[in-house]
Amino acid sequence: MGSAPGRPQGDKPQNTERASQPRSSRRRAQRASQPRSTRRRTTQRRNAKPRDARLPSSTPQAPAAEPVTGCLLIQVAAREPFEVLGLADRAGSGLVFTGAGAIEAMEAMRRHGWRRPMLADRRRYAGTTRVPGTASFVPSWLAGQRDAGISPVLTDSGYIGEGDVAALRSVLSQAAAAGADVTAVLPLHERWLHEDRATLIADIAAYGVPVALVLEHRDDPLGTPEGVAGLIELLRAAPSVAVLGTGIAGLAALAFGAQWTAVGVRGSLRLFPPTPSDDGTEHRKRRWRPAPREVVAAPVLSFGSLDTVVRAYAASEDGTVWACRCSRCRGRTPEWLAAAPALDADAHTFDVLLSYAERLRNREPGPAREQEWCAGCRQALRHYRELGLAGLGWEQPGVATAWASAEAAGCQPPLRSAG
């Protein structure tokens, strides 16, 4: 399926700012003149207040690769077609490669002159063969990222199950010992953000390492009141929190002070579901079938299958709210995407998300940015009602519902759905 970064075949990711970019050779020279360790930069990042997460303005001494702070990254497979990778080639974005081949993919992208942020999620924590959080990190995984000039280096953590304090502390202590450029990936049972969050927050503070959450849930971990309250409390308490493998809620996390977030390019990379069963029988029984193409339904701030979105548009009396101003749709309504190549649907989705993230970054970090997001959620719920989507079998958008009054968090119990 297309050309993967491990096997470049000539065509490069599209680059809308190529004229202003340094060439890869110049970048290599710059890198060679810098210490390999990015310790100083990382220390500055850790000392920075998390709510100051803004994109840096370009300066003459800008590092070879752009910093990841404030970015909404696109999480992709290690072998993703080049044209998909190109969707992340804009300011405020970048890539998270997933799986064992992630480091090779990043090296290939560097050779192609990619300068946007790149990270590597080993994802040893997922699936029926996942490893436990007490497992040791593989030294070559951390070293490979450093050799590729990646910052921050993400740990290849195992899964941290319900109440498994030993696994949590194993991941945090290994990450703390691995160096100042390391971010601890925390693949967490959902209870950690609910009942056990006091322990989670205390341990993160005790070890003092930046963390990247992967939140286990059957549906959307940040589309529930408990998940929202837990994430907000963690973001307010810990110096550096990021979120991997998420969906619409990646915007919410950015609005409330996350260092960076990664939204999966497809459904399987936006979700970290519990394993079906220990022996894997459910997996073996199920036949593979292609996942439905999903797009962002911009008026209601949620993902839906393209068919569902087109049907909702066709059923609406006034279709103007569906006209999309993203750079791919250019005012068209969603039925055009049904006949277009799949890449157009993905381009629509990430243009909508990245433009939204830009809108959030344009507000002052803190209350103004949080209110901007919550107001957007309330508008999405209004659209949901006005478009009569309940009558078409759509569930109320979970993330918008859960975050609609979240700016009140900390002052009063959050989360009544907005009226």
Binding residues for Zn ion, per CB under 5 A?
Answer: 324, 326, 329, 348
Least spacing, CB of residue 302 vs Zn ion, in Å: 15
Least spacing, CB of residue 324 vs Zn ion, in Å: 3
Q: Which is nearer to Zn ion, 258 or 329 (CB)?
A: 329
Q: Which is nearer to Zn ion, 109 or 380 (CB)?
A: 380
Least spacing, CB of residue 89 vs Zn ion, in Å: 18
Helix (H) and strand (E) counts for the chain? Answer: 15, 10
Residue 367, classed as helix, strand or coil, is: helix
Q: Which is nearer to Zn ion, 142 or 326 (CB)?
A: 326
Least spacing, CB of residue 158 vs Zn ion, in Å: 39
Q: For the packed helices 139-147 and 102-111, what is the interaxial angle rounded to 10 degrees?
A: 10
Q: For the packed helices 197-207 and 165-178, what is the interaxial angle rounded to 10 degrees?
A: 20
Least spacing, CB of residue 356 vs Zn ion, in Å: 12
Q: Which is nearer to Zn ion, 72 or 154 (CB)?
A: 72
Q: Which is nearer to Zn ion, 306 or 324 (CB)?
A: 324
Q: Which is nearer to Zn ion, 327 or 379 (CB)?
A: 327
Least spacing, CB of residue 306 vs Zn ion, in Å: 12
User: What's the token pair of residue 331?
Assistant: 């005012």
Least spacing, CB of residue 332 vs Zn ion, in Å: 7
Q: Which is nearer to Zn ion, 72 or 324 (CB)?
A: 324
Least spacing, CB of residue 321 vs Zn ion, in Å: 13
Q: Which is nearer to Zn ion, 327 or 417 (CB)?
A: 327
